[in-house]
């Protein structure tokens, strides 16, 4: 299946989908960047598969907007075609359109891999990946948020020091859980007692604001990655020696650590 389209085709699809969600937007150009303004604080950079950019171009644009206290997201054409529902859910969440549920009104339980994977594939832009621990938040009997964690790893820098990774966190489309991530992390920390918890934020979409509010510290910037696309529109990581064959890249990620 080919997804190569004219820029206007997928742009128009996105704009119509946003309008159906009662989101008004304005298209404009800034140099060679094709941008969509949703609010005075939120702008989307529409990145088509055929583009003249490298990762640094996109990072510089994002940093320019951040200096002006504006959030800029890089939305790639393949992500829109592969996961339109998840894209719309993420954007409407950022716009404050979700039903709000307080974390204290939810119950917390361990969940099985099939349930976690189904939820993450439906509600996370990057879908499910392997993890050791899977924990869910339930409003009554409905699963409304999932966090997955790695096994604990012994660290050599300090005796008896163990670290874990928060691998995925997702909330059901249409919901915002106030204090939900904090509740999941607290449950995991009490149960397994790591000395710290690390995680990553996808720079295309986030500067890790939610992690900073919870007391995480940014400790590293991870370099951009390059990808090819398979026939199912799935990204396949390309190693350094083959970067010239890449169709797609990201702007890297930010590493955060929370110490207990």
DSSP state string for 154-180? EETTSTTEEEEEEEEEEE-TTEEEETH
Q: Which of 157, 154, 167, 159 is nearest to 194 (CA)?
A: 154
- Residue 237 lies inside a defined structural domain of this protein: no
Q: Is residue 89 part of a domain?
A: yes
Determine the longest span between alpha carbons in the chain, in angstroms: 58
Distance, in Å, from the CA atom of 240 to the CA atom of 32, rounded to the nearest integer, reads 27
Nearest CA to 171 out of 104, 225, 237, 93 is that of 93
Q: What is the reported pLDDT for 1?
A: 38
pLDDT given at position 8: 80
Q: What is the mean pLDDT of each run of 10 residues along the chain (260 residues)?
A: 64 96 95 96 96 95 96 97 96 94 96 98 96 97 97 92 97 96 98 97 96 97 93 85 75 97
Domain end position, chosen among 94, 118, 140: 94
**pLDDT reported for residue 241:** 57
Among 55, 77, 94, where does a domain finish? 94
pTM to 2 decimals? 0.92
Q: Please state at what angle helix 84-94 crosses helix 7-20, rounded to 10 degrees.
A: 60
pLDDT for position 20: 96
Per-residue confidence (pLDDT) for residue 2, from 0 to 100: 44
Closest CA to 147 of 204, 177, 207, 83: 177
Identify the CATH number of the domain in which residue 87 sits. Answer: 3.40.960.10
């Amino acid at each position: 299946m080919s997804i190569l389209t004219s820029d206007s085709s997928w742009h128009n699809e996105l704009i119509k989908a946003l309008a159906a969600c009662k989101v008004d937007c304005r298209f404009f150009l800034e140099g060679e960047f094709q941008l969509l303004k949703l609010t005075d604080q939120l702008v989307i950079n529409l990145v088509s598969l055929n583009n003249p950019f490298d990762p640094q171009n996109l990072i510089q644009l994002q940093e320019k907007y951040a200096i002006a206290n504006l959030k800029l997201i890089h939305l790639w054409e393949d992500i829109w075609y592969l996961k339109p529902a998840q894209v719309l859910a993420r954007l409407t969440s950022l716009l404050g359109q979700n039903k709000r549920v307080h974390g204290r009104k939810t119950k917390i339980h361990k969940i099985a891999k099939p349930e976690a994977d189904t939820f993450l594939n439906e509600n996370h832009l990057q879908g499910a990946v392997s993890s050791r621990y899977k924990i869910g938040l339930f409003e009554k009997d409905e699963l409304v948020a999932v966090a997955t964690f790695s096994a604990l790893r012994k660290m050599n820098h300090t005796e008896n020091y163990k670290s874990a990774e928060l691998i995925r966190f997702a909330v059901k489309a249409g919901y915002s859980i106030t204090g939900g991530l904090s509740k999941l992390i607290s449950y995991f920390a009490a149960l397994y007692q790591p000395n710290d918890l690390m995680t990553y934020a996808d720079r295309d979409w986030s500067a890790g604001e939610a992690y900073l509010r919870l007391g995480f510290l940014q400790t590293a910037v991870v370099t951009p990655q390059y990808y090819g696309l398979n026939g199912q529109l799935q990204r396949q990581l390309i190693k350094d020696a083959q970067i010239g064959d890449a169709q797609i890249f990201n702007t890297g990620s930010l590493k955060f650590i929370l110490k207990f």
